[in-house]
Structure 1
Amino acid sequence: MAHQADWIADKSDLKLAEKGRRTGITFAEALDDTVTAATSRSAGGDNVFYIGDTKDKGREFIGYVAKFARAISAETSPVEEYLFEDQKPDGTTKYISSYRIRFASGFRVEALSSRPDNIRGLQGIVVIDEAAFHQDVRGVLDAVNALLIWGGKIRVISTHNGVLNPFNELILEARAGKVPFKIHRYPFELAVKNGLFRRVCQIKGEQWTAEGEQAWEERIRASYGVRTSAMRQELDAIPADQEGAALSRVQIEAVMRPGIPVLRFAAKDEFKNQSEASRTKDAKDWCDWRLAPILAKADRRLPHVFGVDFARSGDATAIIVMEISRALVRRTVLAVELRNMPFDQQREILFYIVDRLPKRQGGALDARGNGAYLAEKAAQRYGASVQEVQLSQSWYLTNMPAYLEAFGDGSLILPKDADILADHQALAYVNGYVKVPDDHRFKGSDGFTRHGDTAIAASLCYFASRQDAEIYAYTPATTDNAGGTMFEEPAGGGLIPDLRGGIF
């Protein structure tokens, strides 16, 4: 195809391809590398080292080379599987599973299953495939630059993996003239125009038609559903807002509204050492000051749900409360973030909120690790309406698609807040499902580290809104009816224990 020929024709020392998936660039590179390794030194032959992001990629690449080698040379050796000896910086040695084909020219093509530490010691042409998905992209790129000293060449090929990925940064630097890479861009649309579907039909033994080609491309794009950011990244070579981002900034801001309260309570380190009564009083005073006026305004006609992403230190505990309108729009009415807050006070603050929710339909809490304590206490207090959620791969696969869909169908409203925006931008595709990557941390507007806290809490809240549950409500009563000082009447009605006694 024309774009494959264009890639092969460029003999630059440094060249880079940003591509859509299955556009055939790695296939074309394998052909070029086979010809290079089969050529004598005087005619420009050289060794080729292929470095993919997985062992399977290396096996696939060496298979392409073997196929081409049989077509151009009768003296090619069979594929050898061997252990590449790699010396680490500390002097120790590790062995990397690799594949190799030797040519009569004396050169070879090697496909390594992972990046060697002594990559600077390789001599020849280095091909880095799916560079954006290597664990240390910048380290790989910096290391292979040393090859240029001895006349080596570098080919970088990859689909995108976010605007903040070093692969995309390299492209921006090259386009700005800061590094001498020659940039090529091959989106899926171009490959289709150049005959990709014709090749598919040829292989399958089917008749090509323009209508069939259009339907085929539409079917592939439709398979992404609402994941338009992922589709543009994987097919159109347009990097997502974050590494593997599930939602674009535009999608998130479209569901945000001003005026929805976002409250933050960060406890000092010495707070946990205060007496239990003192800590309870401080938590109660903060609740009366900040939360009570907001909860008193909650629409008593509508069901309410809540979601909690737990953290004890480092990250924040996020509590999201939503009301469900008659049109089934989940509108956030309150977002609370608690930092460095002792377990008991997290429980007290959560109960203060949930006790005052009109028509409480249910809630969902992160029950992993230390979060199991708060989730269990909430389930004991509120019964079967509370879901104790283990945030596993299975849960993400089953429930995150519905939350993402809400950003496109108008059934979700979030607070207009920079940190909540950033939290949702952190949602990414990891091994085929959406979550906040475990190692993803960033600074919030208050200088504290964040880990997508409100995004997870909001997804749990949305999950709770989709569960079949009984709606709980309270009939307002006076303090006299409640029995004097043991109980107090919250602003929204109902009875809760007097907080001054330390029982929340």
Structure 2
Amino acid sequence: MRECLSHNVTVIEKSRRIGISWVLSWLAVTVAMSSASAGGMDVFYMGYEKDMTRQFIDDCAEHAKLLVGVGLEVGEEVFPDPANPEKTIHVFRIKFASGFEILALPSVPRAFRSKQGLVILDEAAFVDDLAGMIKAALALRIWGARIIILSTHKGATNPFNELVKDCQSGKKPYHLMRITFDDAVSQGLYRKICQKLGTEWTPEGEKEWYDEILAEFGDDADEELHVIPANDNGVFLPLSLIEAREQKGVPVVRWERKPAFALQSKAAREADARQFCEDRLLPHLMAMKADTPHVFGEDFARTCDLSVFWFCAIESNKTKRTVLVVELRGVPFEQQRQILFYLLDRLPRFRAGKMDARGNGQYLAEVTVQEYGSRVEAVMISEAWYRETMPFLQAAFQDAEIVIPADRDIQTDLRAIKTIRGVARVPESRLTDATGKSHGDAAIAAAMAVAASRAEPEIYEYQRVPNQHAQLQGGRMSIEDEIEREDLGSNNDNWGLRGSV
């Protein structure tokens, strides 16, 4: 409840039947019964059917009785629906001594007219006109209203899921919460059920009940309980969208070494890598704009997969323009470090980088952080990372805020991203081309680069230490004063030196 009240707009994607609406009925009562100086305001609840609104208002009445000590009457008002004359509108109302009230209203945009307070829009995915509802509710924000939008999912293409994705990608500045069935169970849902039913809680009983619930939901469990929208065909970046962001001429430099290369002397390997850098990388570095910030992302591999370094220039309109992609295959650790450091040492206005720190990638990420400091982040890729990062990559493509190379293999890598159980990721069983080489590495590097573009830049400042002698003279001293002070020596704090430091 505190989290909801600490944000102007909160979006909650939730499991079914875990008691969130009941919790919000407590929130409604505590807000409506408080004085204005204590944050009190009217509360407006909207569900998509009459039974929901009646249940919510009845729960509010029960809570109010516990808190106030006396029962509060629930009023019901019936009005003709101006949009549908054959139908009626039911409004449930509880009034408090504070002067505020809780109203349960129909889920139509016009119900918000002339209203002000806390808005709770329940099971938003099932509302007929969610976009219109949100638009009408946001008008209340002008005078300080707070809005809570919650729902279970109803398909991947439902407007509610689009709202969730907009929150994830940063398009909407709303606070997003995700509460699964497992979250509720871990926080005592089954214990509460036992308490209500008057039965004894046991770990064995909870396990049996949990398995039974999952079995009952069957194929619908992912959407209904695990908060994963259904009906998703798995496509994350359609081919047409990838092609729309491609631009010819963006350099992709590939360097592959045979296994015998790792057995050569250190001097020979370093010389070979240095020659590669000077011949094939330096010209592209020299072509980069010196006054434009640059970021990079990296996905690591040592043998069968690719190590990919993806560099972007951040243009004034925030477009992430790819300026260079480097792909290394079969290159030893030290030469990968040598090549990356060569690039970063010459990268104009190097702002930030993010690197794959899983497995063997931890070495390269660690030494790069040691060399370049907090501008570089070592990232342990996980499902949570995919969930947080991939929406920004998708948004960059959808909003035309990224430019990528027109390259067949990179296109294949980006198409390798699949939505699996509601989370976009590169599958562990990656695609392979005709040569047996896998794909997906460049997609992760691109996602890392987009994430790096959102990092806060390092800020360096210089403040000159004031010179007390110059201040006394109102500016620069004359040569005569300089000579006189030099003759005085260290007694005047300048240690016999002309000028000042």
Task: Give the greater-gyration-radius structure (CA).
Answer: 2
> TM-score, normalization: structure 2?
0.49
